[in-house]
Homo-oligomer: A and B are copies of this chain.
């Protein structure tokens, strides 16, 4: 997605060979017009696949997910990192956080994910894929159908994307980035 790649180049900050900061437009401050364009791009890529629900994980996936839900006219569910006291019956999965070197649980109420759901999973970033794997585990527990995964920025230097594609899962990443000598390289051009 050309406009996204241009925005990453103009407003992204390379902090190290592994850290690309995009908090001025994607995951702290957010540009709603860009998110709408991103949603339209996912609509195009997943056209005809029969998506009936968008699932993401709090917090930075929510803005993208709601825009895609708005464009596709389907409901959006976000996996919670803390189970509310009012949530009685739920699916849960454990996710390992590499940045914090610890596990955390995510959960979705059984009311909002079931065998009738055909799901697109979306998130802002994909690196090792541990959060996405947690969400896929919830979908599997609910016996819902995973249509595919939509990612805004995939880190091409980590293997999360490769593992998902090798499993035969349809993964659409709008920008696949790699940092080389403090420069941002894109591994995709469509």
Contacts and interface: CB of A to CB of B under 8 A. Distances in A.
Nearest to A82: B100
A115 B112 CA distance: 42
B77 A28 contact: yes
A49 B11 CA distance: 29
Contact of A109 (B28, B65, B80, B81): B28
A111 interface: yes
A43 to B, nearest CB: 13
A69 to B, nearest CB: 4
Contacts of A24: 111-112
Interface in A6-61: 15, 19, 21, 23-24, 28-33, 35-36, 58-59
Given A19-B86, A58-B59, A86-B21, A70 B36 contact: yes
This chain's copy number in the assembly: 2
Closest 6 A/B residue pairs (Cβ) = A32-B70, A58-B59, A32-B69, A29-B112, A63-B66, A59-B59
16 contacts: A15-B86, A23-B84, A24-B111, A24-B112, A28-B78, A28-B84, A30-B76, A30-B78, A31-B75, A35-B66, A59-B62, A59-B81, A62-B66, A63-B63, A66-B67, A67-B70
